[in-house]
Structure 1
Amino acid sequence: MSSKTNYSYIGIAFIILVFGILFVPKIVDRIKNDDVSRSDRISNMPDNNFSNKDKLMFLEIDGEAKKVPEFSFTNQDGKTITNKDYLGKVYIVEFFFTTCPTICPIMSQNLVQIQDRFKSIDGLGMASFSINPSHDTPEVLKAYAEKYGITNPNWNLMTGDREAIYRLANLGFNLYAAENDAVAGGFEHSGNFALIDKNGFIRSRADQYGNPKIYYRGTITEAEKYDDDGEEEEISMLKEDIKKLLNE
């Protein structure tokens, strides 16, 4: 090997050494201080190059995009949570109750899976409203959160005035909820999720006819693919659309 080649290797090694001395400590400090910005983390997620045709639709009523109605309830930590606490965040809305023997456990498991998929993103939240608020006190909701592994600080399980919750479900979101002694658990409700953008608007992708789908089926897991009626899971779709809104 010629001396010229040796000098070249020495030069390259010197450059690498200088780079390490100058920049590696800064990178380490940035990671230690959690100074990796939200946009950095989102941009490193796969499948984030969306075109305009992939943008999600707004649900429009009388020509106006529908926003989440104002609400104020108590969460599992005894704190008052309002719709304003979610501004600047992408979040999922559901209606449930802790003693539900049918679809609620599946819905909760699906949301926990989404929580874990986006655990490094601080801009994602969930809003779970109990339709049995007389039973689902903050203490009961706290135990439910621990049971299902709910750790996202932006995931609020909420209780409060019964009429206000039912009005929010049936009129605010058009997500059906009702008390019914004839069904298992004594209550019935929609198994769908609503997806909300950072500005509080209800968003979704278009269906085959170009209209907004509005909601996402929450009662079938990704692993199942289809339920007994042949309905397809939409959790994978919801994950994709969350990423789109996080990037807006």
Structure 2
Amino acid sequence: MSTFAAIPLVMSKRMIFYIVFFAVLVIGFFGFISYSIPGFMKPKLPPISTVKPFAFINQDGGYTTEKDLAGKVAVVNFFFTTCKSVCPKMNNNLKPVYEQYKNNPDFIIVSHTSDPERDSASVLKRYSDSMGVDNKTWIFLTGRKDSLYSAARHSYKIDDPKNFVQDINDDFLHTQFIALINKKGDVVKIYDGIKPSEVKEMEVDISKLLKE
């Protein structure tokens, strides 16, 4: 009786072993595929908005349009050169991001001025030189105030459109938020540019988007 009673127990242990073995095998397989194939089993960032057509003057006096962002992962922000508070912190936080991806032809940083009356192309060029960046990877843009603000609020969603005032001369945009754009021209995420933790999070998301 004791011999027969032991058989179900042995079979039960053997079945548990096989179940655990195959579970580990399946997990290992999907782990390998996920690591080997970019984007596999990884949730994609849903689009918040889409970059609308634009034409702004860059630091070299030429024009930059939405076509210059096509096929690239872009980081977009707004600042002004005379800012003494938020802007220097935000752009200094972006500098390590620039350093990490500056040699990747599929990456670009686009910084727009929110004070075009003072920030002409030549002023932006001096600012760019002071940052020590290559304008193939980090470009600075100026243009009409209403067009710049419309881009910030409607294309990149880094400021509330309700902040528009009736007289554009009385309007002023001052935001620390940064937009991340995928290769298709979709705005996929917004970050607080003065929080190092969120900038680090953005770096991780940039790496994912560059692999897509």
| TM-score under structure 1 length normalisation | 0.63
Which of 215, 228, 236 is the aligned partner of 2:190?
A: 215
Deviation at 1:140, TM superposition (A): 0.4
- Which residue of structure 2 lines up, in the alignment, with residue 168 of structure 1? 151
**Matched residues, number:** 171
1:67 aligns with 2:43: no
| TM-score under structure 2 length normalisation | 0.73
Retained in 1: the 8 A contact 2:80–2:114? yes
Deviation at 1:131, TM superposition (A): 0.6
Q: Find the aligned partners of 1:86 and 1:159 in 2 and give their Cα distance.
A: 16
- Which residue of structure 1 lines up, in the alignment, with residue 200 of structure 2? 236
Higher relative contact order (CA 8 A, sep 6+): 2
Q: Find the aligned partners of 1:131 and 1:50 in 2 and give their Cα distance.
A: 37
Which of 202, 213, 216 is the aligned partner of 2:187?
A: 202
Give the 3 Å change call, closer, same or farther, for CA 179–77 of structure 1 in structure 2.
Answer: farther
1:245 aligns with 2:206: no
Q: Which structure carries more helix by proportion?
A: 2
Show structure 1 runs of 5+ residues with no match. Answer: 1-46, 61-65, 181-185, 204-213, 222-232
Q: CA RMSD in A?
A: 2.4
Q: Find the aligned partners of 1:103 and 1:146 in 2 and give their Cα distance.
A: 20
- Asked which structure has the greater CA Rg, the reply is 2
Letter in 1 for 2:44: L
Retained in 2: the 8 A contact 1:118–1:124? yes
- Which residue of structure 2 lines up, in the alignment, with residue 191 of structure 1? 176
Show structure 2 runs of 5+ residues with no match. Answer: 1-34, 166-170
Q: Find the aligned partners of 1:67 and 1:241 in 2 and give their Cα distance.
A: 18
Q: Find the aligned partners of 2:156 and 2:99 in 1 and give their Cα distance.
A: 26
Letter in 1 for 2:195: I
Which of 24, 44, 51 is the aligned partner of 1:56?
A: 44
Retained in 2: the 8 A contact 1:179–1:188? no
Q: Identity rate of aligned residues, in percent?
A: 33
- Which residue of structure 2 lines up, in the alignment, with residue 79 of structure 1? 62
- Runs of 4 or more consecutive aligned structure 1 residues displaced over 6 Å after TM superposition: 177-180
Which of 119, 123, 136 is the aligned partner of 2:119?
A: 136
Q: Deviations over 1:56-99 (max 9, x none)?
A: 32225xxxxx3111111000011100011110111101011111
